[in-house]
Amino acid sequence: MGRTFAAVGPLSPKRRFLSRLFGGRTDRVPVGNPTSIATVELQQVTESFFPEAHLDGEKMARLAAGGHELLGYDTVMPYFSVEQEAAALGCDVDWGAPDMMPVEHDHPFQSPAEALLPGDFLERRPIRAVLDAIALLKQRYQGRIAVIGKVMGPWTLSYHTHGVQNFLIKTLLEPDTVRAFLDRLKLVTIAFGRAQLAAGADALCLADHATGDLVSPETYRDFLLPVHKELVHELGCPLILHICGDTTNRLQYLVEAGFDCFHYDSKVDARTAKGIVGDRMSLVGGVNNPETLLRGTPEDVRREVFYALDAGIEIVAPECAVPLTTPNRNLKAVAEAAQEYTDAVMRGADGR
C-alpha cells in the first residue's frame, strides 16, 4: 500500500480520487462517496432539506457540496435516493422527509413492452434536478473536486418498475421476459448516464442490485454480465459499480464486466475481496453503516478504515447511502482516519 504514496502533490481531490479509481499513485488515501452521505445534520447546516433537495437542482447541489466542504470528502455526489428514474418513469414515489428516504408505492410496468424511455425523460423534474445539480457543482469547483453522478442499472430499474418479487421469480419462470426488461431499461441507464457526463460528472456510480442476498452468481453471469459489459462500453467513463449485500461469490464476474471500481458492502470482507480482484479492479468502501457509522464511535470508524486500507482497498467510503440520522462526526472520522493512515505510512510506521 505504501508504494502508492509518491512524493508528489499535493493533488487536487479530483486527481487523487480518479488516480486511485484506476489504481494509480496518490499523495494520500482518497475518501469518496459513490452513494449518499446526506444526513439530517448536513441538511440543517446547508439549509437544504429533504424532500425538496431531491427535486430542486440548486438545493441538491448545496446539500451535496456539504460532503466536501463540511465533511472533508474528495467527492461530491448529488443523487441521494434511488428513486429519480423510477419517479420519472411513472412510479408513484413518496419523497419522504428530512429523516426519511423516498420510496415507491407502486410498480407500473406489467410487461417489458411498457418499459419505454419517454421522449422527454431528461426534462422530467427528478432527472432535471440531478443534471442541474451536477452542472452547478462542476461550476462551483471548477474541476478540482470529483463530481460523481449516479444511475440505476436495468436490474434495479426492473425491481422498481415491475416489483422485486415479480421480477425475481421471472428469472426462473420467464427468463426471456427478464432479458426484455433489461434490454429496454438499459436505455434509461445509458440516456441518464450520458446526460450526467455531459452536465459535468467526472465519474458515474452504477447501482444495480443483483446482490448475493437475492440472486445467485450464475444469475448475474447469465442475465446481467452481458448488459454490464455493454454499459461499460456505452458509457465510456470512469465507472463504479455499486451492489449492496454479500457479493463475494460474483466479484470475478464484476471484474470481467470491466468496471473500474466496485463499491462493496461490509458483508464483503475487504481482504477476501482484494484477494479475488487483485489489481484488475479498484475497491471503494470499508465502513459499515448501521452499526459503525450510525451507532459507533469515531474510534470504531478508524478501526474499519485501517482494516480496509491494510487489506489494500483503494478508496475509503461508507458502504452505501448512510442512514439519515448518522452523526456527522462519524462521517468526518472517515476522512480523518484516511489522513491518519496516510501520515503513518509516510512516516514509515506501517499504518499505525
Query: Which positions lie near another protein, rule CB under 8 A?
Result: 99-101, 103-105, 164-165, 168-169, 171-173, 212-216, 219, 244-245, 249, 289-291, 294, 323-325
Q: In the complex with another protein, which residue's Cβ is closer, 17 or 220?
A: 220
**Residue 157, C-beta contacts closer than 8 angstroms, at least 6 positions apart:** 85, 86, 89, 185, 188, 189
Q: In the complex with another protein, which residue's Cβ is closer, 85 or 314?
A: 85
How many CB atoms are closer than 10 A to CB 9?
13
* Minimum CB–partner distance for residue 316 and another protein (Å): 21
Residues in the chain: 352
Q: In the complex with another protein, which residue's Cβ is closer, 4 or 211?
A: 211
* Minimum CB–partner distance for residue 96 and another protein (Å): 9
Sheet holding 146-152, edge to edge: 75-76, 146-152, 203-207, 239-242, 261-263, 282-287, 315-318
* Minimum CB–partner distance for residue 168 and another protein (Å): 5
> Which long-range CB contacts under 8 A does 4-7 form with residues at least 24 apart?
5/342, 5/345, 5/346
Q: Which set of grid coordinates corresponds to residue 190?
A: 445509458
* Minimum CB–partner distance for residue 1 and another protein (Å): 30
Helices and strands, number each (H, E), in the chain? 14, 9
* Minimum CB–partner distance for residue 247 and another protein (Å): 12
Q: In the complex with another protein, which residue's Cβ is closer, 56 or 104?
A: 104
Q: In the complex with another protein, which residue's Cβ is closer, 203 or 244?
A: 244
Residue 8 Rama label (left phi>0; alpha psi -120 to 50; beta):
beta
